[in-house]
């Protein structure tokens, strides 16, 4: 194990006694460290200067070559930057002991996770696995536009948007699963910010200068106005018809209206509520706000395997180039087509599910390169088969779905036969053959009442042995 102390000047290195079982290196220039990093490197950021330390910890997390290594500090970075480090240590011995557990866990991860071009998804999976983050918990940060944040992941990937989209895609691929619902938020439809000011407005002009006042209603002429306008020489008199208002219930009463707009003079009972975005200033009616949910996430077994093998994501991503759409969109579209086919009997479509059955074996027996070439060959062939109006998606790790609109029985047979013929075409001289099974659904014949797109895909996938 090597402890790399990152200090502000060479002089600060003196006095670091190397603890048993580790040697200590001092560095002042962290930029040159990445290429010399090994799986057993433990960084200790000890510049003694707060901003400099935060900058260095961020840069170390950001670079895939150093990002998953233990990064310790000798002084607190403050909230939320302490989330970026693996803890604060007081001595080289403590750094060695803290680092040891993490280094052992990092040894399980595939080397590709530490490559300069490592996949974001695998880095997140590797981080969760090595830190034993059973539930990836969002942090509450009032100064963050989205309010909740994952500081360590944001440092690794470089932006909150990227983290959100990668977590969503990992969820769809079943690499992580939602653990607990932490909060429900409403987002500004213009900028997606969550800092909103709910403010009462005039329903006529939208102005915010409204006042709540006691109102009176003259029975003689029907005038409704703030009470102050009825006061005339200490008595109540209607400003419109000049009637004397003596007895409540007989001459006048108190109407429900009790707001007056100081801008347009409109009087009303209930003000309108507007959500004013504190980020971009856009006013929105509350029903136009976009609801969002915040969860903690945990790594699935599949996600753990992906981090250890480093292969699955790369291999399967090759298939995403064939008219691919996200699974949620695909299912929504299937649901819509089902509804359409229920109403119009002539509306037909076909779904073909392709389950790759031996990709992991191929990877183990013939290596990643072979497996990748075979998947790439399949993707290329599929691209030739798929029409521009057809769509594909992936669910889980080995399921590929094709949606063929306007194609029903018996014309779907042609496409299916071509796909099945690929089996014998995709192999390599040195051995290794990509094997897959298919399942077919044609509408309207195979429609089950009440079934949604999501349920349908689950039913079809369940049909495989």
Structure tokens at 65: 């070559």
CB 184 to Zn ion: min, Å: 18
CB 141 to Zn ion: min, Å: 17
Residue among 362, 389, 393 at smallest CA distance from 377? 362
Nearer to Zn ion, 72 or 210 (CB): 210
One residue of 128, 152, 202, 354 binding Zn ion per CB under 5 A: 202
Number of residues that bind Zn ion (CB under 5 A): 24
The neighbouring-strand residues paired with 88 are: 73
Residue 225 contacts Zn ion per CB under 5 A:
no
C-alpha to C-alpha distance for 42 and 38, rounded to whole angstroms? 9
Contact 47, 53 (CB under 8 A): yes
CB 390 to Zn ion: min, Å: 38
> Taken in order 210, 216, 219, 221, is the CA torsion positive or negative?
negative
Residue 223 contacts Zn ion per CB under 5 A:
yes
Residue 207 contacts Zn ion per CB under 5 A:
yes
Residues making up the chain, counted from first to last: 465
Residue 145 contacts Zn ion per CB under 5 A:
no
Residue among 278, 294, 285 at smallest CA distance from 192? 278
CB 265 to Zn ion: min, Å: 7
One residue of 25, 174, 229, 240 binding Zn ion per CB under 5 A: 240
Residue 168 contacts Zn ion per CB under 5 A:
no
C-alpha to C-alpha distance for 337 and 406, rounded to whole angstroms? 10
CB 105 to Zn ion: min, Å: 41
Span interacting with Zn ion, options 45-53, 242-250, 332-340, 442-450, rule CB under 5 A: 242-250
CB atoms within 10 A of CB 336: 11
CB 194 to Zn ion: min, Å: 9
C-alpha to C-alpha distance for 386 and 401, rounded to whole angstroms? 12
- Ranges within 259-298 binding Zn ion (CB under 5 A): 261, 263-264, 266, 277, 279-280, 282
Tell me how many helices (H) and strands (E) the chain has.
11, 23
Span interacting with Zn ion, options 17-25, 184-192, 392-400, 434-442, rule CB under 5 A: 184-192
- Ranges within 112-141 binding Zn ion (CB under 5 A): none
One residue of 24, 60, 156, 238 binding Zn ion per CB under 5 A: 238
β-strands 267-268, 259-261: how paired? antiparallel
**Nearest 10 degrees: Cα torsion 270, 275, 276, 282:** -110
Chain residues in the site for Zn ion (CB under 5 A): 188, 190-191, 193, 202, 204-205, 207, 218, 220-221, 223, 238, 240-241, 243, 261, 263-264, 266, 277, 279-280, 282
């Amino acid at each position: 194990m090597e402890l790399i102390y990152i200090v502000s000047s060479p002089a600060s290195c003196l006095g670091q006694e190397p603890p048993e079982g580790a040697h200590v290196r001092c560095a002042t220039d962290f930029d040159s460290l990445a290429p010399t990093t090994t799986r057993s490197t433990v960084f200790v950021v000890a510049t003694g200067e707060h901003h400099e330390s935060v900058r260095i910890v961020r840069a170390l997390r950001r670079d895939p070559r150093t990002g998953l290594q233990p990064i310790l500090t000798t002084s607190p970075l403050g909230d939320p930057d302490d989330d970026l480090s693996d803890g604060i240590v007081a001595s080289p011995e403590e750094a060695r002991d803290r680092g040891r557990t993490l280094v052992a866990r990092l040894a399980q991860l595939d080397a590709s996770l530490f490559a300069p071009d490592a996949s974001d998804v695998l880095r997140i999976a590797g981080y969760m696995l090595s830190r034993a983050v059973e539930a990836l918990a969002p942090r509450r940060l009032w100064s963050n536009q989205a309010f909740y944040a994952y500081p360590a992941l944001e440092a690794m990937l470089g932006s909150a948007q990227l983290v959100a989209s990668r977590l969503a895609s990992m969820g769809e691929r079943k690499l992580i699963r939602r653990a607990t619902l932490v909060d429900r938020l409403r987002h500004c439809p213009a900028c997606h910010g969550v800092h909103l000011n709910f403010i009462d407005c005039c329903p006529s002009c939208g102005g915010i200068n409204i006042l709540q006042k006691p109102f009176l209603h003259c029975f003689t002429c029907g005038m409704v106005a703030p009470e102050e306008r009825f006061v005339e020489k200490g008595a109540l008199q209607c400003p419109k018809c000049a009637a004397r208002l003596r007895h409540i219930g007989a001459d006048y009463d108190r109407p429900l209206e009790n707001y007056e707009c100081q801008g347009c003079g409109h009087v009303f009972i209930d003000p309108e509520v507007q959500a004013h975005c504190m980020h971009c200033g856009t006013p929105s009616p509350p029903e136009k706000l976009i609801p969002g949910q915040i969860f903690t996430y945990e790594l699935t077994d599949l996600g753990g395997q992906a981090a250890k093998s480093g292969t699955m994501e790369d291999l399967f991503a090759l298939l995403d180039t064939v008219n691919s759409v996200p699974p949620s969109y695909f299912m929504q579209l299937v649901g819509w087509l089902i509804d359409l086919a229920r109403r119009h009997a002539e509306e037909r479509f076909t779904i073909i599910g392709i389950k790759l059955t031996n990709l992991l074996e191929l990877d183990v027996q013939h290596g990643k390169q072979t497996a990748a070439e075979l998947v790439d060959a399949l993707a290329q062939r599929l691209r030739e088969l798929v029409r521009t109006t057809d769509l594909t998606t992936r669910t889980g790790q080995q399921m590929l779905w094709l949606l063929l609109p306007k194609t029903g029985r018996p014309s779907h047979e042609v496409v299916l036969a071509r796909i099945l013929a690929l089996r014998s075409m995709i192999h390599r001289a040195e051995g290794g053959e990509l094997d897959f099974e298919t399942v077919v659904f044609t509408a309207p014949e195979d429609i089950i009442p009440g079934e949604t797109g999501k349920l349908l895909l689950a039913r079809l996938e369940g049909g495989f042995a």
